[in-house]
Amino acid sequence: MVEIGIVGKPSVGKSTFFSAATLIDVPIDPRPFTTIEPNTGIGFVRVEDIGYELGVQSQPRNGFILGKYRFVGIKLIDVAGLVPGAHQGRGLGNKFLNDLNQAEGLIHIIDLSGSTDQEGRYIGPGSRDPEEDIMFLEHELDMWYKDILDRNMDRIQRDIKAGKEPSEAIYSVFSSLRVTMQDAEEAMKKYDLKSEELPRFLRIRSKKIVIAGNKKDIGKAIENYDRLKNKYDIIPISAEAELALKKASKLGLIKYVYGEDNFDIIRELNDIQRQALDRLKKLLPTGVQNVIEHLVYDVLGYIAVFPAGSKLVDKEGRVLPDCFLMKKGSKLEDFAREIHSDLAKHLLYGIDIRTKRRLGKDYQLNHRDGIEIIAAR
Ligand SMILES: Nc1nc2c(ncn2[C@@H]2O[C@H](COP(=O)(O)OP(=O)(O)OP(=O)(O)O)[C@@H](O)[C@H]2O)c(=O)[nH]1
Ligand SMILES: [Mg+2]
């Protein structure tokens, strides 16, 4: 499953974002360092379901259908807040960073309203430039990689003396942080081992970041956004608004297709509820879904592909039960392997369930393809 880390200084709303995205209740509090042990749960990306097109109602095994969308699961990790010097163990430093080893991408939550200082203490809206949040966090991540490189330098040099390629030596140290062999090769073409740029290069490759400018509902958030939007990959959000809408939806007050820019009121409301919902309506879309999907689809380059039997059902009679996230550029063979390694071994061809056309083993998958796999036996 695609794994995404939620990072940022304390009190920016990481746990609020996590809770809004996963529907899991976790402690949320203005006090810094509310989260200590990481929270792990399932968030979702939307893909327009193909069931409607094919005249059937899909029955997802994982995830769910809402409106015209299928919500496909990804793993989210909400970690402790990071403060300057974390890579040396300040705050909850190193431990926090290790919780992110396996993350392929990061959602960096900043306080766009500028109401909290460097350590997450409340100082009032507009009191801090959120750009500082961005710069310090990226620096801490780079220093985390640099420390790992420094700690392993003797071993790397020994390996190289013993005949290992430098790229292989780098790969063996950093593969657990999701640096690929290709990243390591490119890194060693560009930089030598002592280069200051090397750890940053490896970090950028293995921890791609989208910035979520949270608390867009208060302070100078929108002014700050306008100032920063051309310089950074940033989306303004209100995690609190998303959480409130999901709660209202759970209570049966509104019908809200998560991520859309409207909702319908489906119950009699009192004045307070109506006012609260009017306020929330102005914050749509809240940006929570947009951030996750921008990272997964645009930045990490995933597409969603549906496996389908000839009658669109699996052995238990479930209609279009699955949907897989695959890397752009993946082939039919990779898709078969994702379903089952045996299936790839015995793969004959695929069938496009819309056109009934045959697809060869090296057919390149497209977003929202529906494919029946035909294997020998
Ligand atoms: N105005 C506003 N406040 C928010 C928003 N999202 C979160 N908050 C508030 O920000 C404070 C901190 O939220 P948390 O989610 O606990 O922050 P965190 O980043 O997980 O904090 P640590 O676990 O301490 O690092 C809480 O008081 C939230 O209610 C938002 O979109 N708008
Ligand atoms: Mg938290």
Instruction: Give the per-residue pLDDT at 261.
Output: 95
Instruction: Give the per-residue pLDDT at 98.
Output: 85
What is the whole-number distance in angstroms between the Cα of residue 54 and the centre of ligand 1? 42
Sort 14 into a burial class: Cβ within 10 Å, 0-12 / 13-18 / 19+.
buried
pLDDT digits (tens, 9 = 90+) for 156-188: 999 999 999 999 999 999 999 999 999 999 999
- By C-alpha distance, which of 46, 54, 39 is closest to 325? 46
Beta bridge partners of 372: 351
Instruction: Give the per-residue pLDDT at 90.
Output: 67
Instruction: Give the per-residue pLDDT at 325.
Output: 98
Instruction: Give the per-residue pLDDT at 16.
Output: 97
Distances from the Cα of 243 to the Cαs of 16, 179, 308, in angstroms?
7, 34, 34
Atom of ligand 1 nearest to the CA of 32: 24
Mark out the alpha helices in the chain (DSSP H runs). Answer: 14-22, 51-54, 93-98, 130-161, 166-174, 181-190, 197-206, 221-228, 239-250, 271-281, 288-293, 332-339, 341-345
pLDDT digits (tens, 9 = 90+) for 90-122: 666 567 788 899 999 999 999 999 999 999 999
The finding on whether 215 has its CB within 6 A of some atom of ligand 1 is yes
What is the whole-number distance in angstroms between the Cα of residue 225 and the centre of ligand 1? 18
Low-confidence ranges of the chain (pLDDT < 50): none
Distances from the Cα of 49 to the Cαs of 303, 324, 365, 368, in angstroms?
13, 12, 16, 8
CA–CA gap between residue 8 and residue 11 (Å, rounded): 8
Q: Which domains does the chain have, with CATH numbers?
A: 303-375 (3.10.20.30)
| The model's pTM | 0.95
